[in-house]
Structure 1
């Protein structure tokens, strides 16, 4: 199965002690295409970006399972050789709903998903006022995901995320993550760390379980490079979840201001004189030539006169 190959590849990447998996956050097909074109070998689908791009709303638990799983399915389908790690929020309910969520993600070709312990009315992990369920309820979510994986014969990677650091403190957060790993989680994700000391400590305290580091611009966690994350702290996965969302916001705002103030958007040029980001460039990024070639290969004539 295609989804099994993707998950298997991610597991192989996690098993390589010399490898750190660096994932840019993408929220739609275009940002995913850009990241793949640059050469990233794994991607991260952000829940915040999904909410912002599909709904135009903040990350306050407003995106549904359909919003998230359909977006994940589309992104995962663009390149089955590049594993997709996808946000699954709280699993969208109790154990039965977590099981349904996990099944949807598996069938969508997602290589890994992370499930958190916030209350169902969740919010971005770098906002204040977070509330979490008790440890038993959290572990039941993780166990539901693991059991569903086993039932479907999948290798999807289950990432246990806890947001309890903010409301309950470090000791509780580590206890929760250890319980989640005991229930079958493959990777640990402590959200909202505030110091480099905490970043180093969590990897030591959870060893040998691989740990994921979340790098959010403007968030509460100190930003570090991928090299620092690997060599200084020992993280195995680093995600930059709002990379796509931030870049789109900044660029779109700049171009809209230009159009508003000057009545036009000036063309930008590459070093070799081509229009940078012109319509054909975007279509090629999204597979224009590949589509035309496939049509020709199977005997079609839709693009016989070019495209």
Structure 2
């Protein structure tokens, strides 16, 4: 792997990502809120990386209500895709505008080197998929988004996933009908947002038997937290854990800050921190040192006079 980019070109990563989706084993995609987290996800042995729109917004101290821009999401996605050989799936919200904007979104994300994205059928501005009060656009409007996205795709291996939020608004039968229409429009995969129970996931799979399906196992939401092995048995092809790493990190940050404030030192947290040596491993610090020593750093010759 290059020091400043991953060792696998974008086309090969997209082919590998598609192969992971087609595999009998479910593809597990934890969310990365930074490039360093993406590298940790790869080293932990997962099949892919997810970039959550909610996490990009939260990292900017914004709520997940459609305030982030394509530039911000594509920029963070590019940073994350640069450091991992895994395929990266990106939350592209509603496509950041009208169908032509959805087309531009696909072009920008392809250029960012990611493996795919998903577009959703909420109205714009959208809301978090596990909150009440969502609204969905008419089916024909979402079909236009998908068709525009597909038309802009240059690499046929770039995955275009259609997310439907209709289950929580119009009911599961409507979500199933929408999924079929979105597949007919050219979507490669369906993201079934905010189903509640294992029975709901089974019902959706039985009604949409041939498509790739993605499950969202986010914490504190509408869905039961179903084990990946169970989702695999049901027939789901991928599962995302979109906000998990951010919630873990921020939970610990707040606790540690409170302790420093109360006790004046971080010493009690040393055994709960990532050690400097492990951070340097993830950063591949030694490889940068070797590069520097081989090419740039020099030793002035001693004067033997």
What are the equivalent positions in structure 2 for 1:59-138 lying under 5 Å apart? 59-79=64-84, 81-138=85-142
1:303 Cα shift? Answer: 11
Runs of 4+ in 1 over 4 A off after TM superposition: 267-270
Label 1:51 to 1:279 Cα distance change in 2 as closer, same or farther (>3 A): same
1:34 matched to 2:36? The reply is no
1:72 Cα shift? Answer: 0.5
Distance 1:140 1:303 in 2: 63
1:253 is aligned to 254
Label 1:265 to 1:163 Cα distance change in 2 as closer, same or farther (>3 A): same
Residue aligned with 1:253, SS: helix
Distance 1:65 1:138 in 2: 18
Residue aligned with 1:259, SS: helix
Given that residues 72 and 108 in structure 1 are in contact (C-alpha distance below 8 angstroms), is that contact kept between their aligned partners in structure 2? yes
CA-based RMSD of the aligned residues comes to 2.0
Which string of whole-angstrom CA distances, capped at 9 and with x for unpartnered residues, describes residues 10-65 of structure 1? Answer: 11112222x21011111112322322232223111111111111x11121111111
2:170 is aligned to 168
1:74 Cα shift? Answer: 0.5
Distance 1:224 1:3 in 2: 31
2:26 is aligned to 20
Given that residues 139 and 178 in structure 2 are in contact (C-alpha distance below 8 angstroms), is that contact kept between their aligned partners in structure 1? yes
Which string of whole-angstrom CA distances, capped at 9 and with x for unpartnered residues, describes residues 53-89 of structure 1? Answer: 1x1112111111111110111001101x211111110
What are the equivalent positions in structure 2 for 1:112-261 lying under 5 Å apart? 112-149=116-153, 152-231=154-233, 233-261=234-262
Label 1:302 to 1:237 Cα distance change in 2 as closer, same or farther (>3 A): farther
Given that residues 45 and 85 in structure 1 are in contact (C-alpha distance below 8 angstroms), is that contact kept between their aligned partners in structure 2? yes
1:266 Cα shift? Answer: 1.5
1:267 Cα shift? Answer: 5.7
Which string of whole-angstrom CA distances, capped at 9 and with x for unpartnered residues, describes residues 125-165 of structure 1? Answer: 0011001111011011111111111xx23411111101111
Residue aligned with 1:26, SS: coil
Residue aligned with 2:15, SS: helix
Which string of whole-angstrom CA distances, capped at 9 and with x for unpartnered residues, describes residues 67-120 of structure 1? Answer: 1110111001101x2111111100011111001000000010110100001111
Q: How many residues align?
A: 293
1:224 Cα shift? Answer: 0.9
1:197 Cα shift? Answer: 1.4
- TM-score computed with the length of structure 2 as normaliser: 0.91
1:194 Cα shift? Answer: 1.5
Label 1:107 to 1:16 Cα distance change in 2 as closer, same or farther (>3 A): same
Distance 2:180 2:299 in 1: 56
- TM-score computed with the length of structure 1 as normaliser: 0.90
Given that residues 4 and 154 in structure 1 are in contact (C-alpha distance below 8 angstroms), is that contact kept between their aligned partners in structure 2? no
1:7 matched to 2:14? The reply is yes
